[in-house]
Amino acid sequence: MSTLWQDIQYKMLRSGSRLNQLIWVNIIVYLAINIPVVLEHLFFHSNYITKVTDDYLGLTAYLPKLLTRFWTPFTYMFMHGGPFHILFNMIWLYWFGQIFEEFLGKKRILGLFLMGGLVGGFFFVLCFNTIPAFTVANAALGSSLVGASAGVMAVIVGTATLVPDYTMFIIFLGPIKLKWIALFYVVLDFLSLTGFNPGGEISHLGGALMGYIYIKQLQKGNDLPAIIGKWFKPRPHLKVVSNNTSRGSSARPRQEEIDFILDKISKSGYDNLSKQEKEILFRASKND
């Protein structure tokens, strides 16, 4: 047992992989909620815990209620509706996340996952309050969303956009390129919009769109999480003025340099870039 706990501690705290941390956080949250749920049902034959967690941690589409649950766009993506829901989400996150980290390093996947979840949640709320099929039935009033699926879809589509011809072996199907797997799930989600879980399908499509945009922007030198983070940094009170107008290290790199670095990322990963190459990519993102 101590070895298992040490292994969990290493993967969560010392491995440096945000993928491992995401998976373990999802598992721990699921067990922390659902073990008491099972015990409550067995001994008290009630579902109070389920009602409270769904109410305060799930994402509602009803705007007046959402204003009093403003934290739920973040918490909903760590909630799951059952063991198979979290199982398949974590399997797909693990498979595609490993490929993502192989090419872009171990730090970026958390930002993509969170942005995918936020955009997926936004699409869910927006569509349930604007599309006639939902507004006529006042579907937003009783609808809520849980699950990491939007964030997982962002990772799936983002990875497939980055390395579309990378081949994954699927049991019973054999080797399949990532672009076909991603396309299959996007089309399946779209065709399921009139099914029993339209809110979930909408959030999946929102996450998929975020994954595509994330990689396309990254290939242009724009790291979206870093750019968003700069918005919240306090501005310095002092300004340094320089009269040196010569072309220095702050000049925009040539497009050939940027293309070479992005090609190197796709082949060997962000962590294998030299310090100078990382600086060039950083300057390109500042000047776009």
Structure tokens at 164: 């579309």
Structure tokens at 224: 């979206």
According to DSSP, the residues that pair with 60 across neighbouring strands are 144
Is-contact 106 270, C-beta < 8 A? no
Per-residue model confidence (pLDDT) at position 249: 46
Provide Rg for the chain, Cα atoms.
22
Question: Do 201 and 274 lie in a common domain?
Answer: no
Q: 270 is in which domain, residue-wise?
A: 248-288
CATH number at residue 97: 1.20.1540.10
**One pLDDT digit (tens) per residue for the chain, 288 residues:** 556 555 555 555 556 788 999 999 999 999 999 999 999 999 999 999 999 999 999 999 999 999 999 999 999 999 999 999 999 999 999 999 999 999 998 889 999 999 999 999 999 999 999 999 999 888 889 889 999 999 999 999 999 999 999 999 888 888 999 999 999 999 999 999 999 999 999 999 999 999 999 999 998 888 887 666 555 455 555 444 444 444 444 556 677 777 777 777 766 767 677 777 777 776 666 555
Question: Do 185 and 271 lie in a common domain?
Answer: no
Question: Do 79 and 147 lie in a common domain?
Answer: yes
Task: Tell me the pTM.
Answer: 0.76
Question: Do 193 and 276 lie in a common domain?
Answer: no
Is-contact 140 130, C-beta < 8 A? no
According to DSSP, the residues that pair with 59 across neighbouring strands are 145
The reply to whether 233 falls in a domain is no
Quickly list DSSP for 90-111: HHHHHHHHHHHHHHH-SSSHHH
Question: Do 33 and 170 lie in a common domain?
Answer: yes
Is-contact 25 33, C-beta < 8 A? no
In tens, the pLDDT along 112-137 reads: 999 999 999 999 999 999 999 999 88
Question: Do 27 and 155 lie in a common domain?
Answer: yes
Is-contact 224 285, C-beta < 8 A? no
**Among 215, 151, 212, 213, which residue's Cα sits nearest to residue 182?**
212
Question: Do 167 and 265 lie in a common domain?
Answer: no
Question: Do 15 and 124 lie in a common domain?
Answer: yes
Amino acid at residue number 156: I
Per-residue model confidence (pLDDT) at position 242: 42
Question: Do 67 and 151 lie in a common domain?
Answer: yes
Q: CB under 8 Å to 60, separation ≥6 — which residues?
A: 66, 69, 72, 140, 143, 144, 145
Split into its structural domains, the chain has a count of 2
The reply to whether 128 falls in a domain is yes
Is-contact 261 270, C-beta < 8 A? no
